[in-house]
Chain A
Amino acid sequence: GIDCQGGSRMCCRQEFFVDFREIGWQDWIIQPEGYAMNFCTGQCPLHVAGMPGIAASFHTAVLSLLKANTATGTAGGGSCCVPTARRPLSLLYYDRDSNIVKTDIPDMVVEACGCS
C-alpha cells in the first residue's frame, strides 16, 4: 500500500490520528492516548482494479495491462479504494461501573489500502 503524499490522487492511505485528549475521552480511556484510525482515499483507475496497491513488479504490470485491455468498453468500473490490511486496536478503559476493561477491537486501524 501507498501512503498519501502531496498531490497524489491515486488510491492511498491517509493517516488520521484521534487524540483522546482532544475529544475529552482521556478520563475514561486509560490506554492508548489516541486512535490511529487512518482511511483510504484516491482514485482507482480500471487498470489497477483488483491490485492491492499499485503495480510494483513485472508480473503485476503485465496483469494490469491485460486488465486495462479487457476492461476497455465496460462502463462504470466499480473499483474502489479500500483497506487491504487492518489491525486491532487494544483499549484499556473504565466502563460505567468503574470496572477496568481491556479488549482488542478487531479491524480498527487501517494499515494499507488498495483497489478492490
Chain B
Amino acid sequence: SLRGGSQCPACEGPTMDLGSQRELLLDLAKRNILDNLHLTQRPTLNRPVARAALRTALQHLHGPPQGTLLEDDRGQEYEIISFAETGLSNINQTRLSFHFSDRTSSGGMEIQQASLMFFIQLPPNTTWTMNMRVLVLNPRDPNLTLATQQLLEMDTTGWHQLLLGPEAQAACSQGHLTLELVPEGQVAPNSIILDGAAHRPFVSARVRVGGKHRVRRR
C-alpha cells in the first residue's frame, strides 16, 4: 500500500541491515501462514500419529477437482483426516470418536463430504454384516443420541470406505463425531482393526470455511 498516497514502501530500497530484514521477513512469513490457516499460534502436537497410519491416510487424500480454479470469492477448502479415538468398546459394539477443530472464528465450517475408512480382517469365504450407528452430541442432553444407522455387508479383508450422511457431516461441523459399529451374526472378535499402526480407522472430510453463509455483493 502507498504511504500517504505518495511513497511506495517497496520502492524505498533496504533501510535495515540484512539480519534484521531476514528476521522481519521470517516473522511476516510465519504470520501469513498462521493467519491464512485461522490459527493464532502454531499447533502443539499432543497425540503423535504413527508414520504407517499417516502413510495409509495420505493415500486417501485427493487434490482439488480437475479443471477448477481457486476463486477469490470462494471459501478456502481443506481436506481433513481425523484418526479415531476408541472408547466404550466391547465384543458387541465399538465406539469411535473424532474431533474437528473449528477452523475459523466466523463464517462456520461446512463439511462437503465425509467418509469413514476402517480395516476389516475376515476369514476367507466369509460374509459379515455390521450395523453402523451415527451418534451425535446434543447440547441439551449429556447422552449421545442416535442420528442414523446403516446396515453394511462385507466379504473381503481390507480397507472399507463408507460415505457418511448429513447427520454425521453436521456432527463434524460441530466439532465432534461419534460412530458406533455393531457387528451382527457370527463374527470373530477383533475383526475391526482399531489400533494397528497402519490400520487405525479415520474419517476423511472435505471442508470449506466461510462458504456457507457468504453473501456475494453485486
Contact B77 A40 (CB under 8 A): no
Report chain B residues within 8 Å CB of A95: 43, 80, 101, 103
Find B37's partner among A77, A100, A105 (CB 8 Å cutoff). A105
Report chain B residues within 8 Å CB of A79: 8, 11
Report chain A residues within 8 Å CB of B46: 98
Known: A78-B2, A88-B70, A105-B33. A97 touches B99 (CB 8 A): yes
A112 within 8 A of B: no
Report chain A residues within 8 Å CB of B48: 98
Report chain B residues within 8 Å CB of A76: 5-6
Interface size range on A against B: 35 or more
Contact B29 A94 (CB under 8 A): no
A84 within 8 A of B: no
Q: Please measure, in the bound complex, the distance between the C-alpha atom of A77 and the C-alpha atom of B201, giving whole angstroms.
A: 61
- Count of inter-chain pairs, beta carbons less than 8 A: 126
Contact B8 A100 (CB under 8 A): no
Q: Please measure, in the bound complex, the distance between the C-alpha atom of A12 and the C-alpha atom of B198, giving whole angstroms.
A: 48
A101 within 8 A of B: yes
Find B99's partner among A9, A35, A91, A99 (CB 8 Å cutoff). A99
Contact A106 B25 (CB under 8 A): no
- In chain A, residues 59-112, which have Cβ atoms closer than 8 Å to a Cβ of chain B? 75-82, 88-89, 91-106, 108
Contact A99 B29 (CB under 8 A): no
Report chain A residues within 8 Å CB of B45: 27-28, 94, 98
Contact B80 A101 (CB under 8 A): yes
Report chain B residues within 8 Å CB of A2: none
Residues of A within 8 A of B (CB): 9, 11, 16, 18, 23, 25, 27-28, 30, 35, 37, 39-44, 75-82, 88-89, 91-106, 108
Q: List 21 A-B contacts (CB under 8 A).
A: A18-B25, A18-B30, A27-B45, A35-B33, A41-B14, A42-B13, A78-B6, A79-B8, A95-B80, A97-B47, A97-B100, A99-B80, A99-B100, A100-B49, A100-B54, A100-B57, A102-B80, A103-B76, A105-B37, A106-B70, A108-B33
